[in-house]
Structure 1
Amino acid sequence: MLRSREVLAVSLAGMLVFGAAARLWAAADDELYRLGEVVVSGGTPIVEAVGVTRRVTAEEMEQRGVRSLDDALNLLPGVDVRVGGDGAPRIDMRGFRTRHIKLLLNGTPFNSTYDGQFDPALISVENIAEIVVTTGATSTLYGSGGNAGVINIITKKGSKGVRGSLNGELASWDTHLLRGTGSYGADKYNVFVSGSHYEQDCYELSDHFSPARLEDGDERENSDRRRDNVFVNVGVTPNDVTSIGATFSYLSGDRGKPYTILTKKDDPFASNPKYEREDDLEEFNVQLALDHDFSGPISVKSWAFFNALDMVEKTYTDATLSKLKSKLDSKVEISGVNLQLACDLQHFGKATLALMAENDDWQAQEKVADTSENEDFQLYSADFEFEARPLQDLGTVFGFGYHWQDRDEKDEEDYSYLVGLYYDLLPGTRLKASHARKVRFPTLRDLYGDEGNADLGGEVTWHYETGVEQNLPAETMFSVTGFYIDVEDFIAKDDATKIRRNFEEYEFKGIEVLVENRYFDKLLLRAGYTYLDTEDKSSDTRRDEIQYNPKHKTTLEATYQLPWQMSIYGSALYVAEAYTYDSNDNKKRMPEYLVCDFRINKKAAGGALDLYFGINNLFDADYEQSYALPRSGRFMYGGVTWKF
């Protein structure tokens, strides 16, 4: 079997072949792989219009210098990207954690079957055409889970002709990035290939960092990271009514997990350090998709998918990483099928029936203790959704789903539903409201891990949301959304028993605001604000709110097109009023922080070359997103991209 870097080298070589052959340049067509959309976005579907759906395009990611999924999402209202004790970025939404988000790659699940989480820093963006983020009351066609929301990564596909790109980047702390794409498209088939290699020896702390007992500053200990990604997409359109697609992705990597800089003895709010690494990570994903329109109102879409993740997690006795304490070799697999039948009744609406079956499997071997585990469960869903526009300015949607989880100890079944509407009160004024009930079943870690509890039940969330979208003078768009979420049987670790249990009730509520101005042709201004209030309402709780959920998040972005084919981009992220607790449930406020980024681009060679330089954390802020885990200081980078 080829090593990951050899696979990457072959892929990049193939892209150069594409470039050498690029004599005919065809006009760009739709470069999004639409076969991967669970909710088809040909025009804005009503189910997306009644809630909050935000899109991050490939063009925006390129302008900002995005390298991975977490970079792409960290400025969105309602989304909080936080690095915690595991050392990986975690994406929180409206008070929920990463495990409550359903991550889809072209419509198929990409979360870990073990704990429901994912590492967004492993997901490179060179193959991404668009990221669709839906929060709150999402479509019932996604099945169970996704109580926080859904992130659907829509990849690129080959467009007519031959085209591609190569990018090389050097940065602080011996960091380098190499990535490339190549594509070819004809009338009845298309191919897209991409690959990347990213490596960072460490990250450095801010010059303002005050040395602590376990960290003297400068290079952050055990903070290296490497990832290699390869992606292939093939599409075939044998006739006007049938489309067939196949996608393949492979990634490998390893990383250190920076430990806390304080111990409980030093500070009761700190956790004791763990000296851990994640090595030999490999993930393989394959998907087959079919879309067929029958004569008449009926159409069918279907997916079959398989995703496998292998990794070795090592724990050491001390910071030297010389004496092994434990070594867990684990493999998680997810496979399944998804079938959708849609009936388009034209003016009377559109009805969709979805049937899903999924198998989640986890195998683990503890090499030092010489123990092993093998657990699995199955998920099934039957979902129905109906969209209609009874009036020209009124859109409505209703959805219902029934879900099953089959596992050894007991079977669980529950239901979800969605009702929503929007009304265009005036030209440029849209009112919208939605309500949903969603269910998320416990993961394999919740049930069988070290803190597991096989008697756990599913989490149930009730979502209420209302908002206004308003077009204002001077090419300004304004939107505001208010939400309230009642959570029953929330699954979390009980600090007293160290075992996971269902907590009675949590409550999340807040407001999200987004303003965008395009009055000047060469200037884009965007500002966002999120207010989030979380409360633990369980009868036996001693905590009044959920830790690490900031009440205030403010973002500012600006892009300006300069003369001489130059452009500049700047952003600011301000986060305030998050709290943490010690083992006695005493509460402490985390310091607020402000992080600014800057980037400048210069086009050359008729636009074929793009030279850029950027600085993340421009003012070298010293900040933490989790207690006693300092983040990186100023980071400078520069590179060049060739497009052919």
Structure 2
Amino acid sequence: MNLRYSQLGLCIGGLASAVLAVPVYAQEHIAPTVVVTATRQPVKANELLADVTVIDRAQIERAAASNVVDLLSRQPGVQFARNGGPGASVSLYLRGTKPDQTKILVDGVPFNSTALSGSSLQYLSLNNVERIEIVRGAASAIYGADAIGGVINIITRTAEPGLRLDGYAGAGSRDTRQGDLAVSGGDERWRFRLHVNSLNTDGFSSRRGASNRDADDDRYRNEGYGGALSFHPAEGHEVGVSFLEQSGTVQYDSFGGSGNFDDRASFKTSVFNAFVRNRLTSSWSSRLSYGRTDEDRADYSEPAPWDPLGITRRESTNETLSWQNDIALPIGTGLVVVERFEQVARPRETFAEGNVQIDSLGLGWTADLGPHSWQANVRHDDHSRYGDKLTGGVSYGYQLAPDLRASAGVSKAFKSPSLDQLYNVSYGNPDLKPENALNRELGLTWASGNQLVSATYFINTIEDMIGWSGGYANVDKARIRGLTLAYALNVDGWDFAANADFLDAKDRTTGFRLGRRAKQSMNVSATRTIGAWTLGGEWALVGSRYDTNFETNRLGGYGLVNLTARYAIDRDWSVEARADNVFDKQYETARGYGTPGAGVFIGVRYAPR
């Protein structure tokens, strides 16, 4: 790929001494020393300003969640809707924004596809995830297009020196079987990791009240593999490459036809990442990276006169070339990023046209001075279809007391129409304009010893929002206001966490509430360690919603209770169990689609410590 900003890249040293970009998140963990990387630079959590959650590997294992989406759905500011059983399309609503208005990254590589769901997170194996970082709030000034609601970064596991084997195997309700195996090793210079995973389940009927063949269980099969290799020639220098691939089949039910056809889809998704990291001086580090994601999906539905084969194929590829420079300044730190992104959609039978390119330059600065802290970012994106897009953001924090900090921020963001919305031969509209957003927020955080309390109030206004009116059109204007409250406590073997969201998401054109967003939602969890046992429970409450943006098809509120248990056989071996929806609650996240009833899953984990 040829960078439009290659000339600027040649004089990066001169630029770096003037301006740089900043971290934009604050972790909701109690320990202030945890380092996170969701905004491109490693920064201590207690030095950050934005609204962020970091889920580390220990929390992932303790949650015993079956997939990435289930784990994300319990986090502050996140609501979701699933169109059926395991493997079915999932929509995540981060701070009330549309699913495709959240930037999804895997190891920093853009994972958003042409689908309205935004990405295929449901296919990723959770056992290969090291940590997940959720940045809430508009972040286009750092990550460019699609980051109106925020950013979710899935960071996969890498190797450490020494030979290590780890694995997991389990079985549960609905004839679910899961297995994961990985081997890693190396020394101070060379390190590697290889992993394989498999998930099979009979699932359940995707449709409520289905008949004929649609009434049967809809199976799901997902198998994958991947690896990572890195070389550390000297301190501060690293060359690395990583890859993963997941493929399989998912069955679902028709909402038309006879109901006697086995509606299903085959899928394959992959991520490749290669990078070179160098500490050029004591105050300047550089990272050059290339990332690629591929998604291939074929849907098989009942043949019809207008579609005699009943096959719909979609393929998309994202390629990103990025040069990031981190520089220590006399006051604060900064970053300069030169980037090119290209997305291609195929085949021509589905997409009349199928590619877009964006060349970008991002700058910023972050610093602390006494009780004051601030962050400023600006990014210029040159879109191949829409031309120049300039976004910026600024945040300020003030330490009111040793344990109490207040913050405020404002940022702009944009979302360019997807290739599906623009060029789909059946319903695309090439005259669509980008969506533009302005986000403002206020935050208050109190952290003392083993407790943390945070409150964040935000208003996000979105112009030219793309909606459906006999086809895609820029017909909507949205105003999303909300308050997110979070609390965490760690004491005497107890870990307690709670979060609550109060959301007012409306279409300003019609005055109606945006569909599938509840006004109130809450998650409460508690775990207790007693000797070799770790026992936990979760209670999720979601208020009523409407299935559409026209306040039709009301979906009732619901509450789910999940229980977990872990028994440590020894330092390395453990038995884990999870009981989901223990009271067999009947509920809907999307109109007409089924949801899982009560279920149990038991597994054995080998993880050398």
Matched, 1:398 2:376: yes
SS in 1 for 2:587: coil
Alignment of 1:129-208 (within 5 A): 129-138=130-139, 140-203=141-204
Matched, 1:438 2:439: no
**For each residue in 1:334-377, what CA deviation from the matched residue of structure 2 results, as whole angstroms up to 9, or x when unmatched?**
112011123211x41222111111111111265xxxx7755111
**For each residue in 1:557-587, what CA deviation from the matched residue of structure 2 results, as whole angstroms up to 9, or x when unmatched?**
0111123x011111011101212349xx463
1:427–1:277 CA distance, 2 compared to 1 (3 A): farther
Aligned to 1:266: none
1:289–1:249 CA distance, 2 compared to 1 (3 A): same
Shift, 1:384, TM fit: 0.7
Alignment of 1:536-555 (within 5 A): 536-538=507-509, 541=510, 543-555=511-523
Aligned to 1:364: 347
Pick which of 61-70 and 525-534 moved more.
61-70
* Inter-partner Cα distance in structure 2 for 1:637 and 1:596: 15
Shift, 1:312, TM fit: 0.9
Shift, 1:38, TM fit: 5.3
Matched, 1:597 2:562: yes
Letter in 1 for 2:440: Y
* Inter-partner Cα distance in structure 1 for 2:140 and 2:551: 39
* Inter-partner Cα distance in structure 1 for 2:341 and 2:258: 38
1:317–1:615 CA distance, 2 compared to 1 (3 A): farther
Shift, 1:296, TM fit: 4.5
CA contact (8 A) 2:515 2:551 kept: no
**For each residue in 1:152-206, what CA deviation from the matched residue of structure 2 results, as whole angstroms up to 9, or x when unmatched?**
112221112111212111111111000122211311121122221001112279x
* Inter-partner Cα distance in structure 2 for 1:272 and 1:93: 37
Aligned to 2:301: 315
Matched, 1:249 2:244: yes
* Inter-partner Cα distance in structure 2 for 1:333 and 1:198: 25
1:43–1:212 CA distance, 2 compared to 1 (3 A): closer
Shift, 1:88, TM fit: 1.9
**For each residue in 1:606-644, what CA deviation from the matched residue of structure 2 results, as whole angstroms up to 9, or x when unmatched?**
222211222111110000011122311011111211234
Letter in 2 for 1:536: D
Aligned to 1:329: 313
* Inter-partner Cα distance in structure 1 for 2:335 and 2:404: 29
Aligned to 2:431: 455
* Inter-partner Cα distance in structure 1 for 2:217 and 2:394: 48
1:330–1:56 CA distance, 2 compared to 1 (3 A): same
1:428–1:276 CA distance, 2 compared to 1 (3 A): farther
Number of equivalences: 570
1:616 to 552, 569, 580: 580
Aligned to 2:501: 530
* Inter-partner Cα distance in structure 2 for 1:60 and 1:44: 17
Alignment of 1:86-485 (within 5 A): 87-113=88-114, 115=116, 117-138=118-139, 140-203=141-204, 213-214=209-210, 221=216, 223-259=218-254, 277-316=263-302, 326-345=310-329, 347-364=330-347, 373-389=352-368, 391-407=369-385, 411-449=386-424, 450-471=426-447, 475-485=450-460
1:274–1:286 CA distance, 2 compared to 1 (3 A): farther
* Inter-partner Cα distance in structure 1 for 2:403 and 2:155: 29
CA contact (8 A) 2:208 2:594 kept: no
* Inter-partner Cα distance in structure 2 for 1:238 and 1:122: 35
Letter in 1 for 2:387: E
Aligned to 2:76: 77
* Inter-partner Cα distance in structure 2 for 1:508 and 1:399: 23
* Inter-partner Cα distance in structure 1 for 2:561 and 2:572: 29
CA contact (8 A) 1:131 1:154 kept: yes
Normalized against structure 2, the TM-score is what? 0.88
Shift, 1:92, TM fit: 1.0
Aligned to 1:512: 484
Shift, 1:58, TM fit: 1.1
SS in 1 for 2:409: strand
CA contact (8 A) 2:353 2:423 kept: no
SS in 2 for 1:161: coil
Aligned to 2:534: 567
* Inter-partner Cα distance in structure 1 for 2:346 and 2:540: 40
CA contact (8 A) 1:415 1:439 kept: no
* Inter-partner Cα distance in structure 2 for 1:586 and 1:446: 24
1:602–1:204 CA distance, 2 compared to 1 (3 A): farther
CA contact (8 A) 2:64 2:577 kept: no
Normalized against structure 1, the TM-score is what? 0.83
Aligned to 2:4: none
Shift, 1:114, TM fit: 5.4
Residue identity over aligned pairs, in percent, reads 18
Shift, 1:509, TM fit: 0.3
1:529–1:593 CA distance, 2 compared to 1 (3 A): same
Shift, 1:95, TM fit: 1.3
Shift, 1:402, TM fit: 1.2
1:490–1:139 CA distance, 2 compared to 1 (3 A): closer
Matched, 1:639 2:603: yes
* Inter-partner Cα distance in structure 1 for 2:554 and 2:536: 32
1:237–1:144 CA distance, 2 compared to 1 (3 A): same
CA contact (8 A) 2:110 2:320 kept: no
Pick which of 292-301 and 456-465 moved more.
292-301
SS in 1 for 2:127: coil
Shift, 1:465, TM fit: 0.7
CA contact (8 A) 2:365 2:375 kept: yes
Alpha-carbon RMSD across the aligned residues, in angstroms, is 2.7
SS in 1 for 2:354: strand
* Inter-partner Cα distance in structure 2 for 1:147 and 1:275: 39
Shift, 1:275, TM fit: 7.0
SS in 1 for 2:420: helix
Letter in 1 for 2:428: G
Aligned to 2:474: 502
**Structure 2, unaligned stretches of length 5 or more?**
1-33
* Inter-partner Cα distance in structure 1 for 2:208 and 2:274: 52
Shift, 1:393, TM fit: 2.1
1:517–1:598 CA distance, 2 compared to 1 (3 A): same
CA contact (8 A) 2:366 2:373 kept: yes
**Structure 1, unaligned stretches of length 5 or more?**
1-31, 206-210, 264-270
Shift, 1:518, TM fit: 1.1
CA contact (8 A) 1:343 1:350 kept: yes
CA contact (8 A) 2:365 2:376 kept: yes
CA contact (8 A) 2:528 2:535 kept: yes
Letter in 2 for 1:332: S
1:88–1:33 CA distance, 2 compared to 1 (3 A): farther
